[in-house]
Structure 1
Amino acid sequence: MEYLRVTNENIDKEHICCAISNNNDIQVSSKKAWLQERFDEGLIFLKSVERGKCFIEYIPAENAWNPIVADDFMYINCLWVAGSFKGHGYSTDLLNACIEDSKIKGKKGVCILSSKKKKPFLADPKFLKYKGFTVCDEADNGIQLWCLSFDSNASLPKFKECAKHPHIDEMGYVLYYTCQCPFNAKYVPIVEEVAKEKGVQFKAIHLQSKEQAQSAPTPITTYALFYNGKYLTNEQMNDKRFLKLLAK
C-alpha cells in the first residue's frame, strides 16, 4: 500500500477518508477546515492513496482536543481502517509510521483512547494490547487512555480531573461535540430538529477551541451525549438512532 500525507498544500484535491465526497459537502468542508487549523500545531493526517477509510490522524498531546495530561507524548486522534482495507496489515503500517515519526520528533511515547470492550469510533483494545500498548488511566464510564511509552522513566499520560468522572448538572439531553468528526456537521442539526419536533430537551455544545475541549467533562470530545447528567454514548446519532433512543 502507498500512503500520502495530507497538508495545506494538497488538502483541496485530496479525499479525507472519513468523509468521501466533494468539497461542497458540509461534512467534508467542516473537517477540512478543522484540519487546516491544526496542521500548524503539528497534526499529521496520513492516508492510503486509494479512496476509502484507511488513515491515521495524530497530534502532539499538548495540542490534542481532549482533557488529558501527556507531556511529550503524541496523541492519536483516529486510526481507522475499514471495508476492503481490513486484514492486510494497513493498521500496523499506519501505527508504525506514527511511532517512528514520534520517535524522530523526540516524543516519549504515543497514546490513544479506547475502552474495556470495543466501542464504535474508538481503537480496538485487542489490537492495542497486541501492539504493546497498556492502559494508563480510566474514567468512570469505562473510557480508557492507552499508551505505548518509549521511555521507562516518562510520566504516563492521564485524564484531567474534569474527565475522570463524566457527569454534568444539566438535565435533558446534552451533547458535546467538535468538528474533528465530519459526521457532526450533518447529523447534529438533524438530531436537534428531531428533538425540537418531539418536544425533547436537547442542547448541543459545540467545542470550538483546544482550550474548551481540554476542559470538557468527558474523555471523548468528538461526540459525547449525556442524559440528565449521566454519560450515555460516544456513538454518533442520526434521526433513526435518536428516535430509537427516545423510545427506550
Structure 2
Amino acid sequence: MEYIRVTKDNIEEEHICCAISNNKDIQVSSKKVWLADRFDEGLVFLKSAKRGKCFIEYIPAENAWIPISADGYMYIDCLWVSGSFKGHGYSTELLNACIKDSKTKDRNGLCILSSAKKKPFLSDSKFLKYKGFEVCDEADNGIQLMYLPFDAKVEKPMFKECARHPHVDDKGYVLYYTSQCPFNAKYVPVLEKTAKENNIPFKAIHIENKEIAQSAPTPVTTYALFYDGEYITNEQLNDKKFLKMTGR
C-alpha cells in the first residue's frame, strides 16, 4: 500500500479519510483546522493514498488531548482501517510506520486508548495485545490505557487522577467534546437542538486546548457524555438515539 503523510502543505488538497470527501463540509473543515494546529506540536497523520478509512494519527504524549502522564511516549489518537481495507495487513503496516518513526524520534514507546469491552471509536484491544501492547491503567468506566514500551526499564504511562474516576458534578446531560473527531461538528449541534426542543437538561462543553483536555474528567475527550454526573458513552448520538436514551 502507498501512504501519504498529511502536512500543512497538502492538507487542503488531501482527503482525511474519516469523514465525507467534500472539503467544504463542516465535519471535514473542522477536523482539518484541528489537525493544522497540531502539526507544529509533532502530530503525524499518515493515510492510504487510496480514498477510504485507512490511516493512523499520532502525537507526542505531552501534547495529546487526553489526561495521561506519559512523557516520552508517542500517543496514538486513532488507528482506523475498515471496509474494503480490512484483512490486508494495513493496520500492521501503519502501526509499524508509527513504531519506526517514534524510535527515530527517541520516544520511550507507544500508548493508546482501548477498552476491556469493545467500545465505539476505540482500538481493538485484541489486535493491540497481538502486537505486544499491554494494559497499563484502567478507568472506572472500563476505558483502558495500553502501551508498547521500547525498553523494559521505562516507566509505565498512567491516567491522571481526574480521568481514573470519570464523574461530573452537574445534573442532566453533560457532553465533553473536541474538534479532533470530525463527526462532532455535525452531531453535537443535533443534540443541542434536540435537547432544547424536548426540554431535556443538556450542556455541551467544547474542549478547545490541550491544557483543558489534559485535566478533563474523562479518559476519552473526543466525545464523552455524562448523565447526572455519571459517564454514559463515547458514541456520537443522533437525535433518535439520544431521545431513546432519554426515554422520550
Q: Considering the TM-score relative to the shorter chain, is it more than 0.5?
A: yes
The equivalences for 1:201-220 within 5 A come to 201-220=201-220
Q: Deviations over 1:35-91 (max 9, x none)?
A: 000000000000000110000000000000000000100000000001111111100
Summarize the alignment of residues 22-37 of structure 1 with structure 2, pairs less than 5 Å apart.
Answer: 22-37=22-37
In structure 1, distance between residues paired with 2:243 and 2:52 = 29
Q: Residue deviations 1:107-146, cap 9 Å, x none?
A: 0100000000211100000000000000000001110000
TM-score (norm 2): 0.99
- Map 1:1-248 → 2, pairs under 5 A: 1-247=1-247
Instruction: Tell me if structure 2 keeps the 8 A contact 1:5–1:45.
Output: yes
SS in 2 for 1:119: coil
In 2, Cα distance between equivalents of 1:158 and 1:169: 24
Secondary structure of 2:17's counterpart equals coil
Whole-Å Cα distance in 1 between the matches of residues 127 and 240 of structure 2?
31
How far does residue 20 in structure 1 lie from its aligned partner after superposition? 2.5
1:177 maps to a residue whose letter is: Y
Q: d(CA) in 2 for partners of 1:91 and 1:106?
A: 22
Distance in 2, Cα, partners of 1:243 & 1:82 = 29
- Is the contact made by 1:72 and 1:107 (CA closer than 8 Å) also made in structure 2? yes
Instruction: Please list the CA deviations of residues 172-198 of structure 1 after superposition, one character each: whole Å capped at 9, or x if unmatched.
Output: 000000000000001100111000011
Letter of the 2:18 counterpart = C
**Any conservation in 2 of the 1:134–1:148 contact (CA below 8 Å)?**
yes
Q: 1:20–1:52: 8 Å Cα contact kept in structure 2? A: no
**Whole-angstrom CA distance in 2 between matches of 1:160 and 1:246:** 31
How far did 1:16 drift? Answer: 0.3
Structure 2 residue runs without a partner (length 5+)? none
Helix, strand or coil at the partner of 2:141: coil
Partner AA of 2:230 in structure 1:
K
Aligned-pair RMSD on alpha carbons? 0.8
CA distance in 2, matches of 1:195, 1:144: 31
Q: Which amino acid aligns with 1:231?
A: Y
Distance 1:207 1:141 in 2: 20
Could you tell me how far apart the structure 1 residues matched to 2:71 and 2:65 are?
14
Task: Work out the CA distance in 2 between the residues paired with 1:243 and 1:98.
Answer: 40
DSSP-derived class of the 1:224 partner:
strand
Give me the whole-angstrom Cα distance separating, in 1, the residues matched to 2:84 and 2:203. 37
How far did residue 239 of structure 1 move? Answer: 1.1
8 A Cα contact 1:7 1:39, kept in partner: yes
The letter for the 2-side match of 1:220 is V
How far is the alpha carbon of 1:101 from its aligned partner?
0.5
**Per-residue deviation at 1:23?**
1.8
The structural deviation recorded for 1:21 is: 2.0
Query: Identity over aligned residues, as a percent?
Result: 74
Partner-residue secondary structure (3-state), 2:47: strand
Letter in 2 for 1:39: F
Aligned length: 248
